[in-house]
Amino acid sequence: MAEKTSESPVRIIGSRELHQNLPGILRELENDAVRYVLTVHGRPRAVLIGAAPYLSMITEGRGSSEALVGLQLTALLGGGLESVSLDDLEKALGDGHPNAGD
């Protein structure tokens, strides 16, 4: 399926693969830790997150996993770390616990 590393909940997926594997991707998005970065012609266009994890994220505030996704997306878009706040860097580089840095 989509490209994924063992350290990251983020999967990079192209639009063609999204169309081919939509049911499986929707099932995976039920997992709170899973995020997809949708690319078109190799360029990031959207971040996909499940509905329940999204609601949790906006009601509880942004956690370390969202900060990490943000950093990864910044890198994919060719941005530098100077555009990322120190608070976000600290959250993303937390100790790996789900609420690290919160």
Mean pLDDT along residues 10-22: 92
Examine residue 101 and state whether it is found in any structural domain, yes or no.
no
Mean pLDDT along residues 24-52: 89
Q: What angle do CA 62, 70, 30 make, to 5 degrees?
A: 65
Q: Which domain holds residue 61?
A: 3-92
* pLDDT score of 91: 66
pLDDT greater at residue 25 or residue 89 = 25
Examine residue 97 and state whether it is found in any structural domain, yes or no.
no
Q: Is the confidence at residue 23, as pLDDT, over 90?
A: yes
Sign of CA dihedral 55, 56, 58, 59: positive
* pLDDT score of 5: 47
* pLDDT score of 26: 92
Examine residue 87 and state whether it is found in any structural domain, yes or no.
yes
Examine residue 38 and state whether it is found in any structural domain, yes or no.
yes
pLDDT greater at residue 19 or residue 62 = 19
Residue 81: exposure state from Cβ atoms within 10 A (0-12, 13-18, ≥19) = exposed
Residue 48: exposure state from Cβ atoms within 10 A (0-12, 13-18, ≥19) = middle
Examine residue 65 and state whether it is found in any structural domain, yes or no.
yes
Examine residue 40 and state whether it is found in any structural domain, yes or no.
yes
Please identify which residue in the block is written with the tokens 């991707």.
Answer: 25
pTM of the full predicted structure? 0.56
Q: How many domains does the chain have?
A: 1
pLDDT per position as a tens digit, 59-76: 666 566 666 666 666 766
